[in-house]
Amino acid sequence: MSFDELLERATQGSGRFGHREHVHLTWLAVRRHGTLAAIEVVADGIRRTARYAGAPQKYHATMSRAWVELVGHHAEADAANGTAEDGTAEDSSETDPGGPADRDGDRGRDGDRGRNRDEGGGGDGGEDRNRDEGGGGDGGGDRGGGEADGDTFDAFAERHPALLDKRLLSRFYHSSTLALPRARTGWVTPDRAPFPWADRRPPAPR
């Protein structure tokens, strides 16, 4: 399934591509391609969509990959624990946004929100392009391509509500780190706290 197809499915019925739709698209990509491959699928798609929309600066390489890793971690845990099938809630404390306070202060958190809006904003151009090219569906729920086993994104989001908080990355990154040009153009590892699964997953393609 291509990025454009994933984008169309994630935005059906919403009319926008905000943070929830970004997480939805990422979840679909992870379930369709696996976490490591989804990193490239999502990164290439968002970068291309932002460029098409005339706003290439909205693509943020570190944030794009970090969200795929976060979503992938929970999707893989669901599959391993059988929660995708039985609906049992899983403890999401490893990525709960109620972690250490942002030492950069409120200004840093506001900056994170702005950068997250930048990351999500690139999708608006892709959504318009899908409509221009005859994309879009009947506004119904997701069908196949990630939900064939009966699980839905709404159920996944209910199990892991922390993923819908755009400030979640501040548990792992200082806002000043995400503001660096090298973080926007390439991968920068977390500098506040490591991802809990960092030692259990092979390196992703850069």
The pLDDT of residue 199: 65
* Burial of residue 135, with CB atoms counted within 10 A of its CB: 0-12 exposed, 13-18 middle, 19 or more buried: middle
In a domain, 204, yes or no: no
Q: 53 is in which domain, residue-wise?
A: 3-192
Residue 205 resides in a domain: no
**The pTM is what?**
0.70
What is the rounded CA–CA span in Å between residue 204 and residue 73? 13
Q: How far apart are CA 139 and CA 45, in angstroms?
A: 22
Lowest-pLDDT range of 23-27, 46-50, 57-61, 148-152: 148-152
Comparing 38-42, 92-96, 105-109, 161-165, which segment has the lowest mean pLDDT? 105-109
Determine, yes or no, domain membership for 198.
Answer: no
**Which range in 106-115, 140-149, 193-202 is most confidently predicted, on average pLDDT?**
193-202
pLDDT at 150: 61
pLDDT of residue 204: 56
The tokens describing 114, both together, are: 């702005």
The reported pLDDT for the residue numbered 206 is 52
Asked whether residue 201 is assigned to any structural domain, the reply reads: no
pLDDT tens column, 60-73: 999 999 999 999 99
Domain assignment of residue 202, yes or no: no
Establish if 197 belongs to a structural domain: no
Q: When comparing pLDDT for 12 and 103, which is higher?
A: 12
The reply to whether 158 falls in a domain is yes
* Tens digits of residue pLDDT in 73-125: 999 999 998 875 544 444 444 555 444 333 343 334 344 444 444 444 433 33
Question: Is 199 part of any domain?
Answer: no
Nearest to 175 by CA among 63, 95, 99: 63
pLDDT at position 42 over 70: yes
Do the Cβ atoms of 78 and 100 come closer than 8 Å?
no
Look at 38-42, 118-122, 140-144 and tell me which has the smallest mean pLDDT. 140-144
Contact predicate 108/176, CB 8 Å: yes
For residues 16 and 18, what is the distance between their CA atoms, to the nearest angstrom?
Answer: 6
Domain count, the chain: 1
